[in-house]
Amino acid sequence: MTVDLGLLGDIEVRIDGHPAEAGHTRQRAVLAALAVDAGRPVPVGDLIERVWGDDPPQRARGTLYGYLSRLRTVLGAGGAQVLRRPGGYLLTVDPQAVDMHRFGDLVDRARRAGTGEPAVDLYRRALALWRGDAFATLDSAWVNTWRHVLESQRLAARTDLYQIMLDRGHAAAVLADLTAAATAHPFDERLQGQLMLALHRCGRSSDAMDVFHRLRRLLADDLGAAPSRSLTELYGRIINDDPALTPSPPRTATVLPRQLPARPASFTGRSRDLAALDSAMAAGQTVAITGLGGAGKTWLALRWSHDNLDRFPDGQLYIDLRGFDPVSEPLQPATVVRVLLDALGVDPSAVPAVPEAMTGLYRSLLADRRTLVVLDNARDSAQVVPLLPGHGRGAVIVTSRRELPGLVSGHGARSLRLGVLDGAESRALFTALVGPAAVAGRTDALASLVDRCGGLPLALGIMAARATVRAGVSLDVLAGELMHDGTRLDALAAGDRCADLRSVLDCSYRALPGPVARVFRAVGSTPGPDVGPAAVASRAAVAVERVRPLLRDLVAAHLLDEPAPGRFSMHDLVRLYAVEVTARDEPPHGRDAATRRLLDHYVHTGAAAATLVAPFDDRPPPPPAAAGVTPERIADHERALLWFRAERPVLMAAVDHAEATGFDGHVWQLAAVLVHFLSQNGHWEELAHAQRAAVRAARRMDDPTGEAYAWRNLALADIWLGDYPTADRRLRRALGLFDRLGHRCGQALAHRGLARVSARQGRFGPALRHARLALDLYGSAGHEHGIATMLNAVGWFLSKLGRHGDGLRYCTRALALATRIDDRINVANTHDSLGFVHGRLGDVDRARAHYQRAIDAFGRLGHPAQQAESLAALGDLLSAAGFDADARHMWCRSTDLLCRLGAPDATAPAAAR
């Protein structure tokens, strides 16, 4: 895992190229303060000054520790650490992982490289790292000083680049940038001089003289000064049309193959990929650029090739192999070699008839020549291998929609997997294609359009072309055309089949073998951001062992990504295409059966996981699974928690998918298996969303049992979110349904919830009455978990009412019963209650021991919300006993957990749950 930090724009963190949450403004400020000195310790006092300036808050040091703790978690995922050092803190990342330091290094290398094309490339790569103003959204004296320093360095690099371009005779290429820069920095005489020279060389000498006159007036009016001698001399030379100001034309070179298509006109971003190409080509390697159709593989290859023409003075060969072409078959290697021999000037009469001999001649001609060969749109390794030169000082770039393992393993090629553009790169590309005026004042529309193109350059290019052709149509209208999933691919259609997104994806899909295509459709039909092999196997009704290699084939074809081991995801536009071909290639009854199998998979696997996480919870069992479903086998409590953490967004999406497709029984069953995990891990808004869907589904089914459980579970979300009146109303609706059903455990569950609501409101008398009713109901049903739960609750409520001796007896009985039946959740809850009771009885040591056992148990169980409450309660106990430092430590731990959970109010003890 690698971490990259961005300071040249919004503060950003990327783990393996994927954005990570950097936190709110102050936390980002702490990150920036450490990243500027990456690899060097920063004293605590300096950190506070950098973040808050001269007026830090009273508890700045404690707040800083909280930010550092959260940054450790974020950065640790990428292998970086925030280490304590004497007097300060150290961020352990390579300075090259920070764009600010990488910028400085590239500029230093560019200045050492002289004035050739390598220097131009280095400057461009350095300037491409900037995504906006340095330290955007941050504001402190230290930040503003650094922002000024970095902006000065940026301007110096730009003027150095402009000078090289002017010296190389490329005045027209830099004129637009120079004009904008000179306007932004009207007092910079070097920039004004460069603009004058560029205008003169472009035949606009009068405009060049106007620049000088404008600067002279500005200096006189604002500073009482005059232009420098060198600028005045340049003005005189322009007036006199000095021939020395015009560079000599380049010398005519021998005619050699120059087959590269035009340099991409609006290329943005990809600095890391260009650097990877630099690294590979420095060793003379073959590089295979692979990626999804439309990801910009050809543009990347051409951009790098044009930037490095001077490295291949013996020529550049280019050919489209048509590996994935909507109108043509892939070219045969022998045909390609024949075309390349023509490009190398071989007399047709001298070309051998035997393919092997043709390949031998081709390799002989390229031996010891510094020639670049670009093999675009390859089908597979077999098509490419005969086209590789034998040896020499040249290089080969191959692009393909498929991974090319044969090139890597058999021919030492380096594989460069090209992803999509990030948001900033996408906005920059679209703006470059349509012009800044077209997006001015349309920030929201631009963000919406870019988001729905999913960072795919082809999609962005299609929409940019549409914006240009339909000049009278606003960006808001164009963004609206992409709003609906069902018509988005229609909006991304183009007249040219080779540039039409649906046609591009169709080429990739039709190249898949039948079983792989079936799995492609299965993945595209699954809800949520990603999916595991077992769910795909259930949806497709095949063994999971057969699915895994087929998923790997789809990853190799760049139709799937594997963002984490065993988790597979689709680009949004690829998913929309998969939904289309599923509707086209699978009959309706087959799609319905597949959806049922998928939902059965999640219901049954979720029920098994929920039983391991909360073995005594009241939850109706699911009906039998459909044939072909293979629920996952989950071994223990820890693996069940891991499963829920991985599948939570998928399960939430499955609830919505089940409701949208009419599988109401699955809606409330899925919602039921989610209750405990969502509740105990702070996902209370999601809990409420799922349970509202469950209520609707159960009512449509006229299922009073499902409706009663759904009302109770929805009330649980209300309690965590602090809406006690609503929770009370919903619990009473659940109680009424359970009463009519004669469902004693359900009635007890509702009374248990009402007791909790009363306790949260500080009404311990009513809470005790509901708890006793629940205890009686559980007792009559012989429900030992419920009995243990309510013995503990009754004991805690008695103690809250001042009856500490009675409370101790009830809680002691609860602990004995919970221990006997191995009810670990109730054991932890009861230790929390005993901590409270012993504290009220004045036995601080015993109370502290019980609280600590509760805290440890909740940690093992994966219950951070309850762990936070026990930590807070222990802090209260220690504070009352005079252990202020220990109390603050407990409160800090509790607050940190609650902040991560986003809890609005989580101060009630465990027994009140």
Q: What is the CATH number of the domain that holds 870?
A: 1.25.40.10
The verdict on residue 629 lying in a domain is: no
On whether both 345 and 453 belong to a single domain, the answer is: no
**How large a percentage of the chain has pLDDT more than 70?**
96
Q: Which residues pair with 13 in a beta bridge?
A: 5, 20
Considering its fold, how many domains does the chain have in total? 3
User: Among 502, 528, 560, where does a domain finish?
Assistant: 502
pLDDT of residue 912: 37
Q: To the nearest whole number, what is the mean pLDDT of the chain?
A: 89
Asked whether the predicted pLDDT for residue 355 surpasses 60, the reply is yes
What pairing do the DSSP bridges indicate for beta strands 18-20 and 12-15? antiparallel
- Residue 207 token pair: 């405009």
460 and 411 co-located in one domain: no
Long-range contacts of the stretch 447-452 (C-beta < 8 A, 24+): 447/423, 448/479, 448/482, 448/483, 449/475, 449/478, 449/479, 449/482, 450/423, 450/426, 451/423, 452/479, 452/482, 452/483, 452/488, 452/572
Q: Tell me if 809 sits within 8 A of 837, measured CB to CB.
A: no
CA distance 81 to 912: 39
The better pLDDT of the pair 792, 245 is held by 792
Report the DSSP beta bridge partners of residue 320. Answer: 376
Residues 411 and 290 in one domain: yes
513-517, 612-616, 657-661: segment of lowest average pLDDT:
612-616
255, 218, 214: which is closest to 235 by C-alpha?
214
**C-alpha triplet 906, 910, 913: angle, nearest 5°:** 80
> Are residues 411 and 381 part of one domain?
yes
pLDDT of the residue at 409 = 87
Q: Give the span between the Cα atoms of 462 and 466, in whole angstroms.
A: 6
Whether residue 528 has pLDDT greater than 80: yes
Whether the per-residue pLDDT at 250 is higher than 60: the answer is no
Q: Answer whether residue 805 is part of any domain.
A: yes
With the C-alpha atoms ordered 58, 60, 61, 65, is the resulting torsion angle positive or negative? positive
Q: What is the pLDDT of residues 422-471, one digit of tens each?
A: 998 999 999 988 888 888 888 899 999 999 999 999 999 999 988 888 77
pLDDT of residue 249: 46
Query: What is the per-residue pLDDT across 133-162, written as a single tens digit (0 to 9) for each?
Result: 999 889 889 999 999 999 999 999 999 999
* Per-residue pLDDT, 519: 95
Nearest to 389, CA basis, from 359, 358, 363, 411: 363
Average pLDDT over residues 665-686: 93
285 vs 461 pLDDT, higher one: 461
Q: Are residues 275 and 408 in the same domain?
A: yes
Which of 406-410, 635-639, 674-678, 902-906 is predicted least confidently?
A: 902-906
**pLDDT band for position 279 (cuts 50, 70, 90):** confident
Do 367 and 436 share a domain, yes or no?
no
Residue 566, sorted as left (phi over 0), alpha (psi -120 to 50) or beta, turns out to be: left
pLDDT at residue number 253 = 33
Mean pLDDT of 785-813: 95
| Pairs from 336-341 (Cβ < 8 Å, separation ≥ 24) | 336/375, 336/386, 336/387, 337/362, 337/386, 337/387, 340/373, 340/387, 341/365
**Looking at the domain assignment, is residue 559 inside a domain?**
no
* Beta-carbon-side half-sphere exposure of residue 54 (alpha carbons within 13 Å): 1
Q: Sign of dihedral through CA atoms 37, 41, 46, 51?
A: positive
Question: Are 477 and 430 found together in one domain?
Answer: yes
Q: Which residues pair with 306 in a beta bridge?
A: none
Residue 76 pLDDT: 85
Q: How far apart are CA 806 and CA 797, in angstroms?
A: 10
Instruction: Give the lowest-confidence range in 246-260, 440-454, 758-772.
Output: 246-260
| Spatial distance between the Cα atoms of 542 and 514, rounded to a whole number of angstroms | 14
Task: Tell me the backbone φ, ψ of residue 486, rounded to 5 degrees.
Answer: -65, -20
Whether residue 207 lies inside any domain: the answer is: no
pTM: 0.66
Identify the band that residue 903 occupies on the pLDDT scale cut at 50, 70 and 90. low
Same-domain status, 393 and 435? no
Question: Cα angle at 133 between 128 and 139, to 5 degrees?
Answer: 150
Query: Cα–Cα distance between 683 and 674 in angstroms, integer?
Result: 10
Angle at 621 between CA 616 and CA 625, to 5 degrees: 140
Looking at the fold, whether 375 and 493 belong to one and the same domain comes out as no
Q: How confident is the model at residue 496 (pLDDT cuts 50, 70, 90)?
A: low
Q: What angle do CA 99, 101, 107 make, to 5 degrees?
A: 100
CATH number at residue 322: 3.40.50.300
pLDDT, position 498: 61
Do 445 and 387 have their domain in common? Answer: no
Q: How far apart are the C-alpha atoms of 127 and 120, rounded to whole Å? A: 11
The average pLDDT across 5-18 equals 87
**Residues sharing a CB contact under 8 Å with residue 443, sequence separation 6 or more, in sequence order:** none
Q: What is the mean pLDDT of residues 793-817?
A: 95
**Residue 904 domain flag:** yes
Instruction: Please give the pLDDT value at position 906.
Output: 40
Q: What is the pLDDT of residue 473?
A: 80
Q: Is residue 87 part of a domain?
A: no
- From residue 762, give the alpha-carbon distance in Å to each of 257, 413, 800, 836, 841: 85, 70, 9, 16, 21
Q: Which of 415, 441, 457 is the last residue of a domain?
A: 415
Range of the domain at 380: 271-415
Please report whether residue 831 resides in a domain: yes
Among the residue ranges 35-39, 626-630, 843-847, 907-911, the one predicted with the least confidence is 907-911
CA distance 524 to 582: 8
Mind listing the pLDDT tens digit for each residue in 826-842? Answer: 999 999 999 999 999 99
Asked if the structure places residue 343 within a domain, the reply is yes
Domain boundary among 364, 385, 415: 415
Based on the fold, state whether residues 409 and 435 are members of the same structural domain: no
Dist. CA 185–CA 189, nearest whole Å: 9
> What gap in Å lies between CA 524 and CA 517, rounded to an integer?
11
Predicted local confidence at residue 865, as pLDDT: 85
**366 and 436 together in one domain:** no
b/e sequence 48-69, b meaning 16+ C-beta within 10 Å? bbbbbeeeeeeebeebbebbbe
Residues 814, 819, 820, 822, CA torsion sign = positive
- DSSP, res 413: P
Q: List all residues 6 or more positions away from 337 whose beta carbon is below 8 Å from its beta carbon.
A: 355, 358, 359, 362, 386, 387
Mean of pLDDT values over 182-199:
91
Q: Is the pLDDT of residue 722 over 60?
A: yes
pLDDT at 709 over 80: yes
According to the model, what pLDDT value does residue 243 have?
86
Please report, rounded to a whole number, the percentage of residues in the chain having pLDDT higher than 90.
Answer: 59
Q: Is pLDDT at 605 greater than 60 in this prediction?
A: yes
